[in-house]
């Protein structure tokens, strides 16, 4: 009997007891569907976060801070005793009350010059922090709103709903605003906000408030990460910072908790890691936007694994169903097995026949389950896109990349094959004479 004949015979044998086979396939189907859906949720959210990670910064930008494991460098805690003084080292307080007051090493121009010497770093910009008083439309200064503003470093990857992204090559003050600001400002749509003048108020260390005007050049799309702040180009942000730091003690203005290192374009992951290692050797930590968002990705992965565990329980139960189905099939076909052996069919071919029957149960259950999950996912994505996810364009709650879906099918087929080996082995070892006598 050739392999094709064995395949045809195995497929035909499954239809001998349609109800029993169908119930076993349904069990596999449920496990495959559950596994596909749980992985689909994780893949969908991860794909969206990967797209939106630009809201934290471009992938070719490292946020550099003083290393926590350098000698006399990093976070200190007064409750753990005195730390050794390092000449030239500056610290900024992160918490000012109680015995657990913390201080962090700040970076100065000397550190910036040192970081610039690392290969593949083309520029280094201080990470400035501005805490403005308010923002208002210049045409309606009676309505002022508290807000946060962020610095744009390098090339912005922000996903825009209208207008353009910030460009630091423009010398005129420009900002982009989150989509949530549009209705607060009284605009009927996102495009109405473009080219409007906004007034920003900032108070310096001496208590004097100064106002600045900036042009709204874009409206940022709502995102899960980094979408709550307005973004300013360097022309505006540096002015705001200069005013806010007026009156501060000498040296405080030029001390930074972190700096942004712009990397050369086209670096591989290995090359970026080399840059991080070189920074570490000099006493600094470098992290990309994705590194900073790694906690979110880790949490999603952990949740996906937990849900996959429940799907795995279903598959284990289905595997026992396959064992039961084939054991019953072996018992029912004892005389047939004896006849096949009497006609010269080898043990390996009988083993293969029953193993293929188990594999086919896994194949049909997994393919149908994965296929159903994909169809259900399209429907769910369509409904949620018009429902509670309508403010997150581009977010597909369920995503089914080809490789993970194929791996699910292959994994279930493997489980089915392993489950079928015991009944197949039993069938292959039957004595042909005893089998022919079986009633």
So what's the pLDDT on residue 409?
92
Please state at what angle helix 334-342 crosses helix 347-386, rounded to 10 degrees: 130
Dihedral (CA of 296, 301, 302, 308) sign: positive
Residue pair 61/288 in contact (Cβ under 8 Å)? The answer is yes
Residue by residue, DSSP assigns 253-283 as TT-BS-EEEEEPTT--HHHHHHHHHHHHHTT
- H-helix or E-strand containing 125? strand 121-126
Ranges of the chain whose pLDDT falls below 70: 1, 3-4, 51-59, 68-105, 154-157, 223-227, 250-251, 292-293, 391, 431-439
- H-helix or E-strand containing 232? strand 230-232
What gap in Å lies between CA 267 and CA 119, rounded to an integer? 12
So what's the pLDDT on residue 1?
57
Residue 106 per-residue DSSP state: P
65 burial type by CB count under 10 A (0-12 exposed, 13-18 middle, 19+ buried): buried
Predicted structure pTM score? 0.60
SS3 216: strand
List pLDDT tens digits, range 268-303.
889 999 999 999 999 899 988 777 667 777 777 787
List pLDDT tens digits, range 326-357.
777 777 777 777 777 777 788 888 888 888 88
Going from N- to C-terminal start, the domains of the chain cover: 3-53+296-437, 58-126+261-285, 128-255
So what's the pLDDT on residue 55?
47
Going by C-alpha positions, the residue among 404, 389, 420, 430 that lies closest to residue 48 is 389
């Amino acid at each position: 009997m050739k392999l094709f004949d064995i395949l045809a015979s195995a497929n035909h044998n499954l239809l001998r007891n349609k109800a029993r086979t169908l119930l076993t396939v349904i069990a596999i189907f449920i496990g495959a569907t559950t596994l596909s859906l749980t992985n689909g949720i994780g893949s969908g959210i991860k794909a969206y976060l990967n797209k939106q990670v630009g809201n934290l910064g471009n992938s070719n930008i490292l946020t550099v801070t003083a290393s926590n494991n350098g000698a006399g460098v990093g976070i200190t805690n007064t409750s753990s005793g005195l730390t050794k003084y390092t000449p030239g080292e500056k610290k900024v307080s992160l918490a000012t009350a109680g015995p657990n007051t913390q201080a962090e090493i700040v970076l100065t121009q000397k550190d910036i010059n040192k970081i610039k010497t690392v290969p593949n770093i083309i520029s280094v910009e201080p990470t400035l922090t501005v805490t403005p008083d308010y923002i208002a439309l210049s045409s309606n200064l009676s309505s002022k709103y508290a807000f946060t503003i962020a610095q744009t470093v390098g090339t912005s990857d922000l996903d825009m709903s209208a207008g353009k992204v910030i460009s630091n090559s423009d010398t005129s003050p420009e900002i982009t605003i989150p989509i949530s600001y549009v209705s607060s400002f009284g605009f009927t749509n996102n495009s109405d906000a473009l080219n409007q003048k906004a007034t920003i108020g900032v108070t310096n260390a001496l208590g004097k408030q100064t106002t600045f005007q900036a042009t709204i050049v874009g409206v940022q799309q709502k995102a899960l990460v980094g979408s709550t702040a307005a973004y300013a180009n360097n022309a505006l942000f540096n002015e705001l910072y200069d005013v806010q730091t007026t009156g501060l003690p000498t040296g405080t203005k030029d001390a930074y908790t972190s700096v942004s290192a712009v990397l050369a374009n086209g670096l591989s992951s290995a090359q970026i890691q080399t840059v991080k290692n070189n920074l570490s050797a000099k006493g600094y930590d470098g992290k990309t936007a994705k590194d900073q968002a790694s906690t979110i990705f880790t949490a999603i992965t952990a949740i996906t694994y937990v849900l996959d565990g429940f799907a795995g329980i279903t598959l284990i139960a289905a595997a026992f169903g396959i064992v039961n189905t084939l054991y019953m099939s072996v018992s029912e076909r004892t005389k047939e097995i004896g006849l096949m052996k009497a006609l010269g069919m080898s043990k390996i071919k009988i083993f293969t026949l029953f193993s293929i029957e188990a594999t086919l149960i896994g194949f049909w259950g997994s393919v149908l389950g994965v296929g159903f999950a994909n169809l259900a996912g399209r429907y769910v994505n369509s409904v949620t896109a018009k429902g509670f996810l309508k403010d997150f364009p581009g977010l597909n709650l369920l995503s089914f990349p080809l490789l993970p879906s194929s791996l699910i099918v292959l994994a279930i087929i493997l489980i089915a094959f392993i489950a079928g080996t015991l009944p197949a082995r039993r069938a292959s070892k039957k004595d042909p004479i005893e089998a022919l006598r079986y009633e």
